[in-house]
């Protein structure tokens, strides 16, 4: 099982609008590529004054789902985010393998 995380750093002035977009457009876009079980968390540690940070997690059954998302889905989603908010919303993603405890 793959855990796919995208971290977002968002200017507080757009936080409410950003969260609406994230909960509707971004999550649905991930789901169309086979990502499941979305979970959103707000980071309690600050990365900078006037900035909020969020982590959006999904599960993927294997690397092919992640590869397809990163090739065909993520570029358009990040481009739309950049067009809408520019440098006021930044993102980066990491792929992790879930290890049994």
| All domains of the chain in start order, with CATH | 2-97 (3.30.70.100)
> What pLDDT, on the 0 to 100 scale, is given for residue 47?
74
**Are 33 and 64 contacting, i.e. CB atoms less than 8 angstroms apart?**
no
pLDDT tens digits, one per residue of 26-81: 999 999 999 999 999 999 987 778 899 999 999 999 999 999 999 999 999 999 99
Spatial separation of the C-alpha atoms in residues 53 and 78, rounded to whole Å: 16
Inter-residue contact 1 to 59 (CB < 8 Å): yes
The mean per-residue pLDDT over the stretch 89-95 comes to 95
């Amino acid at each position: 099982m793959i855990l796919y995380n995208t971290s977002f750093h968002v200017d507080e002035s757009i936080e409410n609008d950003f969260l609406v977009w994230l909960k509707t457009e971004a999550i649905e876009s991930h789901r169309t590529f086979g990502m499941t079980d979305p979970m959103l968390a707000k980071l309690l540690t600050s990365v900078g004054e006037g900035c909020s940070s969020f982590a959006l997690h999904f599960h993927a059954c294997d690397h092919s789902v992640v590869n397809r998302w990163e090739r065909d889905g993520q570029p358009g989603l990040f481009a739309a985010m950049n067009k809408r908010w520019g440098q006021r919303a930044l993102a980066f993603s990491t792929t992790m393998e879930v290890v049994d405890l």
